[in-house]
Structure 1
Amino acid sequence: MSHLQELDHLRIPFDDIKSATNNFSHQNFLGQGGFGRVYKGQLPSTDSSEPGTTVAVKRLDVKLGGQGEHEFLTEILMLASYKHDNLVSLIGFSEDSNEKVLVYKYEVNGSLDKHLASIDLTWAQRLRICLGAAQGLEYLHEGVGAGHRVLHRDIKSSNVLLDAYWEAKISDFGLSKIGPTNQPFTFLVTNACGTFGYLDPLYLATGVLTKESDVYSFGVVLFEVLCGRPAMIVKHEDERRFLSHLVKLHQEKGTLHQIIIPNLLEQMKPYSLEVFSNIAFQCLNEDRKQRPTMGLVVKELEKALEHQLRTRTRLWGSVIGGWPFLFELESNQKLRKITIGHDRWIHSLMFTVEDSDGLLHSSEQYGGLNDANNKGVEISKILFEADEEIIGIAGTVGRRYGLELITTLSFVTNKRTYGPFGEKDYIRPRKKAQFSSSWDLGSFHGFYGRCGCDSLLLPKTMSTRQVAKASQNDTKVIKWNTNRSYFKPNKANVFKTSSP
């Protein structure tokens, strides 16, 4: 391996690695990859007063014969040549006639695939992880040097490692290729390699590899993070087998929320979700020319994270049951009317806006699907003046049917207070909880929340600053199509608000 002669400073005696891993004991075993087995180890420090270095040791499986040698050499050369905060760190290697071993810095939180379904991993954490991985891949595509780029060829969640601070590190460069950048589209013709579920369909069909093939794979990872499941589930023999197919089906039906991790939906700011899902779908575009660069992916993920962190959310009512909804004002719209269905609790909301041409547009009715058969429901309407704007909201939450429902609701504008709507004395005071939230004039941007067949989860209020900069506010309304036959009446009501 003459290629490695210049890297002798990275060589580690094999006996030292055996000692560090307790002779590759089962207790030190971390996992199995295509290259071979991975073990945890402790390399001693050259300074006896300093603690040793915890490492991950990848040992080439001798049963592979010579099949793994190319990947072994490629990985060493790649990681020795290219350094970035979001790439795994190579500490050293060992190779002789019988053993080939790679030694990396040990990343405490393991690989991303082990955490996909964790309810402890927040939406903000997931966004940071995705952003870090995107920055690492952007570096490979655009930042490694003049005239060339690195095509990873095996982007997947198990190849994204997480350090003690949940910072993402791209790993496993054994299949990587180097291509030129002095062409409109860098492409290499190779035998298709990678992992099913992540592979670019065009690469699989033609063997033509481009940087957009990595982008496609990264889009699959984004949806793994969003939906909390792997790219492929073998036991499923329908559309659920491949996540890339499943998300496209739900996109067409407008039911993406049905496959998102439920507790993440409660944390997400709508615009953060919209930006994230939009760029993820762009990555999966069948037309390679329509896929984004990793630079654009980084910018969009930064935008999604910035909005998620900028807003402050308050939550009242149950966080389960029903389904989510979102009403969001366009930059050229004013809220002119709110229609409220209520009796002893809040059943439904519907919003009417006026655009810059003076045309009125009404949203769908959120909640109260059974109200047509309920003669006790009262319909109230709030008509706003042209210069009137909501600056606050208040109400009460009470317990009924074993659930916490929004029982009264008031809207505060810069001119007056409307309400309360609902029956404030229906539920005894000891079972009620009051809530209120206010925000600056000019910052109101919309509502979102959860609703059921006989009840409403009021939305969260959003400010323009929380959604986008005023000069760049091109947010679109997301429509939530619901499977109404699935939800039983009297589901929980949740009311969220947020302010800058």
Structure 2
Amino acid sequence: MVPMYGFCADGEHLCAMYVFQASDSVYNLIPKDSFTWLQRIKVSLGIASLLKFLHTGYPQYPPFVVRNLDAAHILLDENGYPRLCDFSMITGGILPDRTLDKNDNVHGCYGHMDPYSGKKGNCSDKQDVFAYGVILLGLITKKVYTHENRQVRLPFDHEWAQREYKASESDSDKKTVQRSLVHESFTSDPDFNSADGAEITAMAMECINICDSERPTMKQVLRSLLTLPVVKQHAPFLGVNKLLQPHKIGH
């Protein structure tokens, strides 16, 4: 998460200050060819690690649920690490249950909302898993859902992915065929491995599963990411040791 610099409380006026120093948002970077495969893996790992921490919870507190996870709410710092910068809908943990607010008619960000379990009054960490799956799909396909897509009523990215992935089932019996939605341009990236692409595609599809109970936990997602050949090969660059350290409050 973006680190807090400080806060001020002056009567009814409240102010929180965060250290951004961001290079760009993941939303803006996803379609760009200059955003490499390795950089995308770094984002995938960082956000998965954060969500795993937030969803873990403690015996006396329920897990945190971000609820409005969006590629536009993830910034990259000067070292290329992803930072979540919007907590306007977060609930759980030490916070009051915000899903009880009768005026809270919003349950996610457009293009990332879970249409299967994200209804009013139904709050689950599986909604964050769904949104993470959408972000993961964007990272490997270079697709983002734009305002223009909405105006002409194009399918959401998860709808497109489910259709394309299902269409590839006819070839699934062929052992040489790997079901992958990775953008073809990544084949020329020196750090890309087709096996990685197929594994990440399968993982993303599990995250956006229509049945939320069959979606993986973020702990399972992170564990799967850490087994990828690209992660093992570039562990120092990706900050794997840092991800494996126990999270501390305030860091």
The structure-2 alpha-carbon separation of the partners of 1:280 and 1:156, relative to structure 1 and needing over 3 Å to count, comes to same
Shift of 1:92: 1.3
Alignment of structure 1 residues 101-120 onto 2, 5 Å: 101-120=15-34
The structure-2 alpha-carbon separation of the partners of 1:115 and 1:145, relative to structure 1 and needing over 3 Å to count, comes to farther
Shift of 1:95: 4.2
Shift of 1:299: 1.1
Shift of 1:224: 1.1
Structure number with the higher helix fraction is 2
- In 2, the alpha carbon distance for the partners of 1:279 and 1:220 equals 11
Q: Provide the secondary structure at the position in 2 that maps to 1:103.
A: strand
- In 1, the alpha carbon distance for the partners of 2:57 and 2:78 equals 26
For the pair 1:310 / 2:226, whether they are aligned, the reply is no
Shift of 1:112: 1.1
- In 2, the alpha carbon distance for the partners of 1:165 and 1:156 equals 21
For the pair 1:275 / 2:199, whether they are aligned, the reply is yes
The structure-2 alpha-carbon separation of the partners of 1:124 and 1:222, relative to structure 1 and needing over 3 Å to count, comes to same
Shift of 1:272: 0.5
Instruction: Please say if residues 150 and 176 of structure 1, whose CA atoms lie closer than 8 Å, have aligned partners that are also in contact.
Output: yes
- In 2, the alpha carbon distance for the partners of 1:163 and 1:144 equals 29
Alignment of structure 1 residues 432-451 onto 2, 5 Å: none
Shift of 1:158: 1.2
The structure-2 alpha-carbon separation of the partners of 1:283 and 1:123, relative to structure 1 and needing over 3 Å to count, comes to same
Aligned counterpart in structure 2 of residue 165 of structure 1, from 69, 74, 79: 79
Aligned counterpart in structure 2 of residue 237 of structure 1, from 127, 144, 153: 153
The structure-2 alpha-carbon separation of the partners of 1:254 and 1:147, relative to structure 1 and needing over 3 Å to count, comes to same
The structure-2 alpha-carbon separation of the partners of 1:297 and 1:107, relative to structure 1 and needing over 3 Å to count, comes to farther
Q: Corresponding residue for 2:5?
A: 91
Instruction: Please say if residues 111 and 157 of structure 1, whose CA atoms lie closer than 8 Å, have aligned partners that are also in contact.
Output: yes
For the pair 1:226 / 2:157, whether they are aligned, the reply is no
For the pair 1:248 / 2:178, whether they are aligned, the reply is no
More displaced stretch, 154-163 vs 188-197: 188-197
Instruction: Please say if residues 136 and 169 of structure 1, whose CA atoms lie closer than 8 Å, have aligned partners that are also in contact.
Output: no
The structure-2 alpha-carbon separation of the partners of 1:147 and 1:98, relative to structure 1 and needing over 3 Å to count, comes to closer
Q: Corresponding residue for 1:300?
A: 224
Instruction: Please say if residues 144 and 150 of structure 1, whose CA atoms lie closer than 8 Å, have aligned partners that are also in contact.
Output: no
Counterpart code for 2:219: G
Instruction: Please say if residues 111 and 157 of structure 2, whose CA atoms lie closer than 8 Å, have aligned partners that are also in contact.
Output: yes
The structure-2 alpha-carbon separation of the partners of 1:114 and 1:98, relative to structure 1 and needing over 3 Å to count, comes to farther
Shift of 1:230: 1.5
Q: Corresponding residue for 1:263?
A: 185
Q: Corresponding residue for 2:131?
A: 217
Q: Provide the secondary structure at the position in 2 that maps to 1:154.
A: coil
Q: CA RMSD in A?
A: 2.8
Alignment of structure 1 residues 49-64 onto 2, 5 Å: none
Counterpart code for 2:150: V
Q: What TM-score do you get using the length of structure 2 for normalisation?
A: 0.76
- In 2, the alpha carbon distance for the partners of 1:161 and 1:91 equals 17
Counterpart code for 2:142: G
Alignment of structure 1 residues 6-405 onto 2, 5 Å: 87-96=1-10, 99-142=13-56, 147-178=61-92, 191-205=105-119, 207-232=121-146, 233-239=149-155, 242-254=156-168, 260-267=182-189, 268-304=192-228, 306-307=229-230, 310=233
The structure-2 alpha-carbon separation of the partners of 1:96 and 1:179, relative to structure 1 and needing over 3 Å to count, comes to closer
- In 1, the alpha carbon distance for the partners of 2:41 and 2:141 equals 13
The count of aligned residue pairs is 216
Residues 225-263 of structure 1: per-residue CA shift (max 9 Å, x gap): 112121353244343xx1010011110112976x64332
- In 2, the alpha carbon distance for the partners of 1:91 and 1:308 equals 32
The structure-2 alpha-carbon separation of the partners of 1:204 and 1:289, relative to structure 1 and needing over 3 Å to count, comes to closer
The structure-2 alpha-carbon separation of the partners of 1:228 and 1:145, relative to structure 1 and needing over 3 Å to count, comes to farther
Q: Provide the secondary structure at the position in 1 that maps to 2:216.
A: coil
- In 1, the alpha carbon distance for the partners of 2:187 and 2:162 equals 19
Stretches of structure 2 lacking an aligned partner (at least 5 in a row): 170-178, 235-251
Q: Provide the secondary structure at the position in 1 that maps to 2:117.
A: helix
The structure-2 alpha-carbon separation of the partners of 1:94 and 1:217, relative to structure 1 and needing over 3 Å to count, comes to same
Structure number with the higher strand fraction is 1
Higher relative contact order at CA 8 Å, sep ≥6: structure 1 or structure 2?
2
The structure-2 alpha-carbon separation of the partners of 1:210 and 1:124, relative to structure 1 and needing over 3 Å to count, comes to same
Instruction: Please say if residues 107 and 120 of structure 2, whose CA atoms lie closer than 8 Å, have aligned partners that are also in contact.
Output: no
Bigger Cα Rg:
1
The structure-2 alpha-carbon separation of the partners of 1:200 and 1:118, relative to structure 1 and needing over 3 Å to count, comes to same
